Chain A
């Protein structure tokens, strides 16, 4: 794949706009275009409507006939219950996600730097071998992984999950950093080399400081994927020790009487951090997505 975007490149909106055709055509095509886009918008927002409306409904307000109606009484009980149930899990998720993102970002940056700048024979093979780790279905390592985690003796839950997110985050973080460093002007690093700085020093003093944009992208990426992970979480933790996805699944799908109001409020709590990241840092988020894939 040819490099079309750089990871730290601005989001879609910031890309070169296409040439504008003369204005003033009230064509049918234009109307149809808006109609389709608006219709899609409504469809995409339907689940959001359901989530919000149901989360404010009282128990008697959730009958089939009133399923799509607004609440008769707007009640915050569901939100309180959901928060009480999920707050500890959200705390654990933060404990897990923050170190996991930071460590894997550093590992990725070291790898990316080496693989893009100090190309040695076989660098490409090493890169491809690392990259393959991004595509493996984790089911294919789960049984022996279970054993090795037992052997290491890490307690179930947060510590184990940090380790796993760090390890299995290496491919994607390496990819993003490598692509970024490929786009850094050669002269910058060559200049440092001329000064006689060794590789490690070059990395620490020249490369790291200019890597901030990439770090942001990688941290966002790792943060969201670790936050949203369920597979590792369900194999290596319980609702008592695990992150919010496991706790939410237990809340919504456990053996208790199903309460859609509470489940939906819980789903919103569980999604808020990633949604906030998306809203505040959306530009980088898109950049991160693109670098992770367009350049595959």
Chain B
């Protein structure tokens, strides 16, 4: 009797979501691993006309051994690094500069932040133009701007470079999300208790020393959050690449694009395997973070 009264309602409210999560997150992850362990590479198999055979981790081994997929992984890594460093450095710098109240603060903040309200597809339209790889007379976009301001030497092929091209795709991403990181850090700065600062100053610390030894350490949880959020967003490179480059362009391939291309050509097994590899990468990063957060909350209670 009592148990039902205690347990019934919470279960009642939670159940719909728990079932949906169980099926659409965990169930599908399992199903995806199952598909990725078969030889489901053709249309006939995808549609169930011909049988599939269990091949274990064969697809993973093949993928990881192929030049093309290694190139995609390398691109993903480079993109993530540039994206992370760019947003963290710029976002932190803006937050630091705006930390103390000043004239025009609201305008700066709003302008820095607005790009994140825009979809990657929409911003990709502009960045496609800005990142046009023509140089010299035919130059458009940023290359043309560089010519106009006398910085000709900065002209470059942007994303049309086999090694560094993907870093150019990170530019729009930095443009969109630096403001977000700024907002996070700003909240962190403002969250530092006034007494701490004052105490530091009382001890005769210089302004820089107060920052260095009192305030910055307080920001590390914010920095960690920002790293996790931005790091996991780097998978969204998909939208930007689809909008700026094209899925078939080798120089800008990342696993998410490979996954899309495999799916379009009925190669479900490889498509699923690429998805699974992305999941594993994310899980390695996020699960420790979730456990850490969870522990901290429990101990904080």
Contacts and interface: CB of A to CB of B under 8 A. Distances in A.
B189 to A, nearest CB: 7
A130 B17 contact: yes
Contact of B7 (A120, A142, A263, A282): A120
B294 interface: yes
A290 B183 CA distance: 8
B278 A231 contact: no
A256 interface: no
Given A124-B298, A139-B255, A296-B293, A200 B12 contact: yes
A47 B183 contact: no
B191 A15 contact: yes
A230 interface: yes
B94 interface: yes
Given A33-B97, A263-B125, A144 B144 contact: no
Contact of B190 (A12, A137, A146): A12
B155 interface: no
A141 B29 contact: yes
B66 interface: no
Nearest to A107: B17
Contacts of A191: none
A199 B24 contact: no
A131 B138 contact: no
A90 interface: no
Interface residues of A, number: 100
A18 B242 contact: no
A253 B110 CA distance: 30
B111 to A, nearest CB: 6
B74 interface: no
Given A64-B144, A120-B7, A267-B126, A139 B286 contact: no
Interface of B: 5-7, 9-10, 12-14, 16-18, 20-21, 23-29, 31-32, 35, 90, 93-94, 97-102, 104-115, 117-130, 134, 137-141, 144-145, 148, 175, 179-180, 183-184, 186-191, 194, 197-198, 221-222, 224-226, 228-229, 232, 235-236, 238-239, 242-243, 246, 255-256, 259-260, 263, 268, 271-272, 274-276, 278-279, 282, 286-287, 289-291, 293-294, 296-298, 300
Given A235-B260, A249-B242, 10 more contacts: A33-B102, A37-B97, A41-B108, A44-B115, A139-B278, A141-B28, A144-B272, A230-B243, A234-B242, A294-B188
19 contacts: A15-B187, A41-B107, A68-B145, A107-B17, A114-B14, A120-B6, A124-B297, A129-B21, A137-B278, A139-B255, A140-B278, A142-B263, A200-B13, A230-B120, A230-B243, A249-B243, A253-B246, A264-B129, A289-B184
